[in-house]
Structure 1
Amino acid sequence: MDTQEFIQIRKFIVKLGKMLHKYGTPAFRLEAFLTEVAHYLGVHASFVSTPTSLTVVIWSDRHEDEYTHVARLQPGELDMNALSLTDDLASQLLAGSLTLKQADARLDEIDVMPSPYGKFITGCAFSLATGAFAMLMGASWSEIFWSGMLGLITYFWSLWAQHSKRVNLMLEPVTSFVVGIMACAISRYLDPGINIPLIVLSSVIILVPGLALTMGLSELSSRNLVSGTARIMDAIMQLFKLYFGAFLGVATGFSLFGENQYLPAESLPYWATWLSVFLLCLALVAVFRTRLKHIPWAIASAFVAYGTTVWASEFMQQNLGTFVGAFALGVFANSFTRLTNQPSTIVGMHGLIVLVPGSKTYIGLNSFISGQDLVQADHIGQDVFLIFMSLVAGLIFANVVMPTKKAL
């Protein structure tokens, strides 16, 4: 291998690694995938990925050429469309149907590709997701409506954060602060008796880092200790910022508009729970930028995960039911990989978001600090811990029973 070829290879690998990091790929999957690509391209390589950095070391057979690259990166966000296209590109490269130069040019095209759903549909998806979550939590019809409307506030702040570093730094607390004040105003002038804390939680649920906590625990279980620890600590800080903003916003709202007297409404019918799972997953299609051809798989993964959990919970504790649900989800996602030759993450995340106890983590924090419960729940802290462990264990067992064919 001459020096010019080595330079071309290492530039491509570094660019590929940065893009996969940008799309929210977990450390153990990113490192395994890059190692596979480097081996095919005829170089030796070692990778260390964390939520905020990527270290790449590449060398030739006899160490004639060596290269080390360390990059400081921002934590990635899930982009299933770009992840799928990047995986297609890598598969074509490994199959020999694309040259390295063509693959490198295609990476540049994918990197600047906008969301396939546009800002309007994504905004509607934010509103639908927050309303569907309120429905899943057993809120009344009016509370579901207000959660959906305030979910648009979360979307507007998220859009602003993409163009302003200052807003991005304070996204979580300022969003929950504004939502808290507006929920109090709605209770004072438009709809007295609503459950303000539940509406605030539902309105910012997309920012609650339950999925990040689960990914961090998965990284720890795979011995990616630095990345897993960093991801968990980052998620905890996001949770603290969200709760503080909501606490301050509600307190300010009560000072401005007077305190709210919560009046419990009539419970929703049982079918509303299943409808909420469908609507939540449908909204996540746009939020996660899932490709059109993967939408049926994504929605099916949510029903597999939730339905299996509900069924298993009839015969065992709910926490163990989550283990069965995560196991079924893992098998389904890995089956998707075998059938379509696409990363299991593309559909697995949709099912996982239904199971992760991000909301319970927030509720437990609220109970610990204020002594008040958003919903009726006993031993919330123990439940959160056991559910997280059940999720990780279920996915590990699924990978043993139905091994995935792809590193991603």
Structure 2
Amino acid sequence: MLHKYGTPAFRLEAYLLEVSSYLGVYASFIATPTSITFVIWSDKHEDEYNHAARLQPGDLDMNALSLTDELANELLSGAITLTDADIRLDAINEMPSPYGKIITGFAFALATGSFSMLMGASLAEIFWAALLGFVSYLWILWAQKSKRVNLMLEPVTSFAAGILACAISRYLDPGINIPLMVLSAVIVLVPGLALTMGLAELSSRNLVSGTARIMDAIMQLFKLYFGAFLGVGVGFSLFGENQFEPAASLPYWATWLAVGLLCFALVPIFRTRLKHIHWALMSAFIAYGVTVYSSNYIDQTFGTFLGAFALGVFANAFGRIANQPSTIVAMHGLIVLVPGSKTYIGLNSFISGQDFVQAAHVGPEVFLIFMSLVAGLIFANVVMPTRKAL
């Protein structure tokens, strides 16, 4: 169940070891993004049980993760039996999103519009990005009902966003930044967070899981870019090429507003519980604020390290105070810090030789930012260690 909710391999294995140790069971676990192997044995290895489960890569679900963690705490404290816990796990598994499809759809629109605001888009471009984000959510809903659509979700979503952006430029708003609109429309699908989790797994010596997660994230990125490249190409053929005319960006204070709106939009997307919303918003502002403030005095890469360090300390403190997984609030702050968009921009620059936003030396910068993120979180775990494996 924890695997299904997007728990990294090293945390999942540590959590399972805690539960097996409490139950007095000798066990070993190997977790990867697509499988879990269980080995359970008796004291002198007279009896041994092996089980391998084939699983799909998990999605982030902070509501189910929190409820599952609370359930495990009740089990470990003796408040409920193992049979009752098994029944409640099934109930959590079948639980729909607490926010419903309509609120989640508006959250997708708000997230894409907020991201475009962070990237310096104009008011009109922010509106169109939000509209394209809502269309992307419709594809995600369709993918939940159709296995065929789910297999091609990333390329078909970016393909549709590319064609629609070209149509908007031709008939409604000439001169918009089409590549930025497409990137904003699919930003929720850009696997920057998965890349960070993969690097964190590699740093914890979970080599198989980390490598698999990174390769899966890279393939998702390739599929997104190919769909966008094809969609914009078809759109130009149908509607004519677009001449980008830079419009006036919003003032600097709008970036702080964008961070707040983006993190607030992630609440329904990540299914964060209501009682954790203020913690999640604080994590985003702490991560972004420390990074921006420190970047005024030191290199941006070290600023990202300090932002990740502050985020890790805050998330671990939340875990101690609320007795909940630190991941619940850490994910919101990481979304602000991870350079998933810069990875996409770097791929576009490498293939087309053109930059649709100002991003010099984006390739080395992305690599250094990823390393700084992982290092910051590792140092935070040393300074403020968690009481829980999650």
* Residue matched to 1:11: none
**What amino acid does structure 2 have at the position aligned with 1:386?**
L
- 371-380 vs 321-330, which moves further: 371-380
Question: Structure 2: how far apart are the matches of 1:363 and 1:270?
Answer: 22
Give the alignment of 1:1-400 within 5 angstroms.
19-400=1-382
**Alpha-carbon distance, 1:65 to partner:** 3.6
**Alpha-carbon distance, 1:61 to partner:** 2.2
Question: Structure 1: how far apart are the matches of 2:89 and 2:30?
Answer: 21
The TM-score normalised by the length of structure 2 is 0.99
Q: CA RMSD for the aligned pairs?
A: 0.7
What secondary structure does 1:194 align onto?
Answer: coil
Question: Structure 2: how far apart are the matches of 1:67 and 1:276?
Answer: 52
Question: Structure 2: how far apart are the matches of 1:104 and 1:125?
Answer: 33
Question: Structure 1: how far apart are the matches of 2:375 and 2:273?
Answer: 29
String of CA shifts for 1:99-157, please: whole Å, max 9, x gaps: 11111111111111110000000001000000000001000000000000000111011
Question: Structure 2: how far apart are the matches of 1:160 and 1:65?
Answer: 47
**What amino acid does structure 1 have at the position aligned with 2:174?**
P
Question: Structure 1: how far apart are the matches of 2:41 and 2:93?
Answer: 26
Question: Structure 2: how far apart are the matches of 1:67 and 1:124?
Answer: 47
* Residue matched to 1:7: none
What secondary structure does 2:3 align onto?
Answer: helix
Question: Structure 1: how far apart are the matches of 2:353 and 2:45?
Answer: 62
String of CA shifts for 1:197-251, please: whole Å, max 9, x gaps: 0000000000000000000000000000000000000000000000000000000
Question: Structure 2: how far apart are the matches of 1:122 and 1:100?
Answer: 34
What secondary structure does 1:290 align onto?
Answer: coil
Question: Structure 2: how far apart are the matches of 1:66 and 1:80?
Answer: 34
String of CA shifts for 1:359-398, please: whole Å, max 9, x gaps: 0000000000001102011100010000000000000000
Question: Structure 2: how far apart are the matches of 1:256 and 1:395?
Answer: 47
**What amino acid does structure 1 have at the position aligned with 2:196?**
T
**Alpha-carbon distance, 1:60 to partner:** 2.6
**Alpha-carbon distance, 1:64 to partner:** 4.4
String of CA shifts for 1:20-52, please: whole Å, max 9, x gaps: 110000000000000100111111111111111
What secondary structure does 2:248 align onto?
Answer: coil
**What amino acid does structure 2 have at the position aligned with 1:189?**
Y
- 211-220 vs 373-382, which moves further: 373-382
Question: Structure 2: how far apart are the matches of 1:337 and 1:64?
Answer: 39
Question: Structure 1: how far apart are the matches of 2:82 and 2:353?
Answer: 59
What secondary structure does 2:2 align onto?
Answer: helix
* Residue matched to 1:5: none
Question: Structure 2: how far apart are the matches of 1:40 and 1:302?
Answer: 35
**Alpha-carbon distance, 1:405 to partner:** 0.6
What secondary structure does 1:48 align onto?
Answer: strand
**Alpha-carbon distance, 1:62 to partner:** 3.4
**Alpha-carbon distance, 1:341 to partner:** 0.5
What secondary structure does 2:243 align onto?
Answer: coil
Question: Structure 2: how far apart are the matches of 1:346 and 1:177?
Answer: 32
Question: Structure 1: how far apart are the matches of 2:94 and 2:221?
Answer: 30
Question: Structure 2: how far apart are the matches of 1:270 and 1:395?
Answer: 28
**What amino acid does structure 2 have at the position aligned with 1:163?**
K
